[in-house]
Amino acid sequence: EAQVTQNPRYLITVTGKKLTVTCSQNMNHEYMSWYRQDPGLGLRQIYYSMNVEVTDKGDVPEGYKVSRKEKRNFPLILESPSPNQTSLYFCASSLSGIGEKLFFGSGTQLSVL
Amino acid sequence: LAKTTQPISMDSYEGQEVNITCSHNNIATNDYITWYQQFPSQGPRFIIQGYKTKVTNEVASLFIPADRKSSTLSLPRVSLSDTAVYYCLVGDMYSGYSTLTFGKGTMLLVSP
């Protein structure tokens, strides 16, 4: 089954403790991206990647890192999480670009205490 | 990337047709228009995509006028399960080198 898999689904952590949210797709998609969703603000793009080793900042990249060492994986790294990064995070992928149909993961609800 | 404007919310009743319009005055020649549906705490789900005129699939229709500065998502005979947020996006089909902004979408509430 074609899908984007995010883990974990829920995560509670404390300020400053490094964490990684994993994202994997099985559709051989070139494009992958991360979004955060906060009440009243809609979905905002954090980082995106067009291919292996090619990443770029979205609208809200501060405090986040990403890597694309393999085509199928696009982890989101929070080196030193802060409470303002408490949010619902989504990973998405598409075949070749932002105009293509995006497939989203089921989301990761992160709480930073 | 073309910015889009949608109504914040809409109300409807079961069985009615719902039309949600999106404005995208700065749409570029290579841009396609895509609509997504999102339920609470779930990732958005693709509904329909088009470039011009009319596109129809099993769940919706998309109407795009000749100037492409707006588009209308049409949901026929909505049910309670169509209550969701609907996002209109405009983007170049073949270019990933740009941010992709979803905006706040349109919250559709369907009542019995």
Average pLDDT over residues A57-85: 96
pLDDT tens digits for range A75-97: 999 999 999 999 999 999 998 77
Q: Report the amino acid identity of residue A53.
A: E
pLDDT band at B15 (very low <50, low <70, confident <90, very high): very high
Please name the residues between 71 and 90 in chain A that touch chain B, using a CB distance below 8 Å. Answer: 88, 90
Question: Do the Cβ atoms of B95 and A99 come within 8 Å?
Answer: yes
Q: Which residues of A touch B98 (CB under 8 A)?
A: 98
Closest-CA residue to B1 (of B25, B22, B20, B21): B25
Q: Which residues of A touch B36 (CB under 8 A)?
A: 102
* DSSP annotation string for B38-94: E-TTS--EEEEEESSEEEE-SS-EEEE-TT-SEEEEEESS--GGG-EEEEEEEEETT
Please name the residues between 28 and 47 in chain B that touch chain A, using a CB distance below 8 Å. Answer: 30-32, 34, 36, 41-46
The distance of B47 to chain A (nearest Cα, Å) reads 9
pLDDT tens digits for range B51-65: 999 999 999 999 999
| List of E strands, A26-64 | 31-38, 42-51, 54-57
Average pLDDT over residues A40-49: 89
Mutate to test the interface with B, among A98, A104, A110 (most CBs of B within 10 A): A98
Ramachandran region, residue A37 (left: φ > 0; alpha: ψ -120 to 50; beta: rest): beta
pLDDT band at A43 (very low <50, low <70, confident <90, very high): confident
Of A48, A104, A107, the CB nearest to B96: A48
Check whether B78 has a pLDDT greater than 90. Answer: yes
pLDDT tens digits for range B96-105: 556 667 778 9
